[in-house]
């Protein structure tokens, strides 16, 4: 019997590892969006709008964080929009990170596990992209209150960490999130960057800070952090 189990484990090691990795992310209390859908140049409007925030005669971004980089296509895309800029992709799904490293061998791209200490170690970042990450879709599609699935506190906690690693004057880009950045305490330390490229902030449903579904449209996506040092991060 013991021999059979050992033999089974040996023969099915790779398959079991894949199954384990799938549930590892699902069970991780730090996980936001669980699916890994992505593609090259998924949000040209957002990328062009962010690029426009840097006039040619001014210093461009030096380091970018793609928070929730999935299998790396977003980082490869950013590499084209911001040539010469270092791009760090962070994800909580180790299988995705393995694919990133296999697919994209480039000195300007690096991929890290999404652990606060590792993200801090690579900081500061001039731009942080959180695209289709700070949400739970489709789980929140049909509910009027999302507290049991993905509460506002998770969104705000995550943004507190990201705010700490964003340079003063840096850009925070949030798209397809279940919540409005304007409901967070950090918002008053940021200025909204409007753009003709942006008409909406994603298709996932929005909820207020009490986790109740809202019905009015919300278009804000790009936020510029005040150049002065923030005292809000620990409040």
Ligand X SMILES: C[S@@+](CC[C@H](N)C(=O)[O-])C[C@H]1O[C@@H](n2cnc3c(N)ncnc32)[C@H](O)[C@@H]1O
Q: Which residues of this protein are in contact with ligand X, per CB under 6 A?
A: 25, 30-33, 35-38, 42, 67-68, 70, 74, 90-93, 96, 114, 131-133
Q: Residue 47 or residue 223: which is nearer to ligand X going by CB? A: 47
CA distance 13 to 137: 31
Shortest separation between residue 209's beta carbon and ligand X, angstroms: 20
Q: Residue 6 or residue 118: which is nearer to ligand X going by CB? A: 118
Query: What secondary structure does DSSP assign to the chain, as a single string?
Result: -HHHHHHHHHHTHHHHHHHHHHHHHHH-TT---------TTS-HHHHHHHHHTS-TTS---SEEEEET-TTTHHHHHHHHHSTT-EEEEEES-HHHHHHHHHH---TTEEEEE--HHHHHHH--EEEEEEES-SS-TTTTTT-SB-TTTS-HHHHHHHHHHHHHHEEEEEEEEEES-SB-GGGSGGGGGEEE---TT-S-S-SSPPB-TTSBB--S-----EEEEPSSPPS-TT-
Q: Residue 12 or residue 35: which is nearer to ligand X going by CB? A: 35
Which of 167, 152, 161, 157 shows the shortest CA–CA distance to 214? Answer: 152
Shortest separation between residue 225's beta carbon and ligand X, angstroms: 20
Shortest separation between residue 235's beta carbon and ligand X, angstroms: 22
Q: Residue 5 or residue 27: which is nearer to ligand X going by CB? A: 27
Shortest separation between residue 81's beta carbon and ligand X, angstroms: 14
Q: Residue 10 or residue 152: which is nearer to ligand X going by CB? A: 152
Q: Residue 13 or residue 203: which is nearer to ligand X going by CB? A: 203
Shortest separation between residue 187's beta carbon and ligand X, angstroms: 21
Q: Residue 116 or residue 169: which is nearer to ligand X going by CB? A: 116
CA distance 171 to 190: 9
Cis preceding linkage at 120, omega within 30:
no
Shortest separation between residue 13's beta carbon and ligand X, angstroms: 23
Shortest separation between residue 138's beta carbon and ligand X, angstroms: 11
């Amino acid at each position: 019997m013991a021999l059979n189990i050992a033999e089974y484990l040996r023969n099915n090691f790779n398959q079991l590892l894949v199954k384990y990795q799938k549930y590892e992310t699902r069970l991780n209390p730090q996980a936001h969006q669980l699916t890994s859908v992505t593609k090259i140049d998924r949000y040209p409007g957002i990328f062009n709008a962010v690029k426009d925030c840097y006039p040619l005669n001014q210093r461009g971004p030096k380091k970018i964080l793609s928070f929730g980089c999935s299998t790396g296509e977003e980082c490869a895309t950013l590499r084209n929009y911001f040539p010469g800029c270092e791009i760090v992709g962070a994800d909580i799904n180790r299988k995705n990170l393995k694919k990133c490293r296999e697919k994209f061998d480039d000195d300007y791209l690096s991929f890290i596990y999404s652990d606060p200490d590792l993200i801090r170690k690579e900081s500061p970042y001039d731009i942080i992209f959180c695209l289709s990450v700070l949400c739970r879709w489709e789980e929140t599609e049909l509910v009027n209150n999302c507290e049991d699935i993905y509460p506002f506190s998770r969104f705000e906690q995550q943004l507190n960490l990201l705010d700490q690693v964003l340079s003063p004057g840096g850009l925070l880009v949030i798209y397809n999130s279940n919540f409005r950045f304007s409901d967070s305490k950090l918002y008053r330390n940021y200025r909204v960057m409007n753009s003709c490229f942006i008409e909406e902030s994603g298709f996932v449903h929005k909820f207020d800070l009490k986790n109740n579904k809202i019905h009015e449209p919300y278009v804000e996506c790009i936020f510029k952090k005040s150049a002065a040092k923030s005292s809000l991060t620990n409040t």
